Structure 1
Amino acid sequence: MNTDELIKKLKLEKHPFEGGYFRRTYTHNQMFSRNGVTRALASSIYYLLTADDPIGCFHRNKSDIVHCYQRGGTIEYTLLYPNGLAERILLGNQLDEGQRLQFVAPAGVWKGARLISGAYTLISEVVVPEFNYRDNEIASRAQIEPYFSVCDWDIEILIGQGAEIPNQ
């Protein structure tokens, strides 16, 4: 199946802020309240990076996000931690080359992604508690620059435009 067929088959839409394509596929029916905010326990999406749209720009969320490889090539994730450390993770199916089938991006950690092999890579993301745009922040250059010195790989390409996400 080629990229266009996959986008159509899964009914994916362009991501409005991060890059790539996505579609929410699940929202847990059980709700909970914390600090006056009511949310579902979890949600999940398909997320796709393609050769034509290979970058998921740096952003962070207030919830943990589990990333699960589905099919295609390899995505390189960069995680930037509040303590100043950085980590590079390869999500793909070449386990003998150190790639992973899943990983967790903890709440509050900057996360950026780029397709490094193949015409596309499809993953699923499970967000606990449920994803909400109010809990999501796109990084500005100023927020990422302090990490340049700790990364021996190019992270500048993962800086978006610092777009404001409207309250949803």
Structure 2
Amino acid sequence: MEIKDLIKHFNLEPHPEGGYFKESYRAQSKTQTPNGERNVSTAIYFLIPNGKKSAFHRIASDEVWHFYLGVPLNIFEISPYGTLTKVVLGQDLKAGQKLQHVIPAGTWFGAIPENNSGYSFVGCTVAPGFDFEDFEMANRSKLIEMYPDAKNIIEMLTD
């Protein structure tokens, strides 16, 4: 399936961190969080085309990424202790790729299709549910100041 076909089929819209998304689920039940009342869970379809990225950001909830279609997706995380890790979502399990991956709440992370080619089509499930009030885009210079060892990746995944 081509990028334009996925965008049309799933009614995807531009996402602030890059790529295209569409919310596919929002639980009706609610829960209290330190930031206020939130839906218990949410889910989106998320498309990252060649030349685009999911820029470094963090949210206040755990987020599970699920691989669906396309080229493998490189996810880069910076732990609160400054450890940089790379996880590859994809279908080549023998090569260590994963079909799903959990990003802990408060972790800085970004993603880009492997070799910056093709596209990666994934799903993201958040619990407690996603709310833009809990979403923070990274500031390049501040993130580099905090995590200088990750400078190259931060520069690649920030604007």
TM-based fold match above 0.5: yes
Q: Give runs of aligned pairs for residues 1-168 of structure 1, distance below 5 A.
A: 1-15=1-15, 17-35=16-34, 37-52=36-51, 54-117=52-115, 118-145=117-144, 146-150=146-150, 154-160=153-159
Output the CA distance in 1 between the equivalents of 2:129 and 2:24.
Answer: 12
- The offset of 1:35, in angstroms, is 4.5
Change (3 A) 1:33 1:74: same
Q: Which has the higher helix share?
A: 2
> Would you say the 8 A contact 1:61–1:107 is kept in 2?
yes
- The offset of 1:150, in angstroms, is 4.9
RMSD: 1.7
Output the CA distance in 1 between the equivalents of 2:155 and 2:35.
Answer: 37
- The offset of 1:96, in angstroms, is 1.2
Percent of matched pairs sharing the same residue: 33
In the alignment, structure 1 segments of 5+ residues that lack a partner are 161-168
Structure 1 window deviating more from structure 2 (65-74 vs 113-122): it is: 113-122
Change (3 A) 1:102 1:35: closer
SS in 2 for 1:155: helix
Output the CA distance in 1 between the equivalents of 2:40 and 2:67.
Answer: 22
The number of aligned residues is 157
Name the TM-score, length of structure 2 as normaliser: 0.92
Amino acid at match of 1:74: P
Change (3 A) 1:36 1:61: closer
Amino acid at match of 1:29: Q
Name the TM-score, length of structure 1 as normaliser: 0.87
Output the CA distance in 2 between the equivalents of 1:50 and 1:13.
Answer: 13
> Would you say the 8 A contact 1:78–1:155 is kept in 2?
no
In the alignment, structure 2 segments of 5+ residues that lack a partner are none
Output the CA distance in 1 between the equivalents of 2:107 and 2:22.
Answer: 22
Following TM superposition, the consecutive aligned residue runs of length 4 or more in structure 1 with deviations greater than 6 angstroms are none
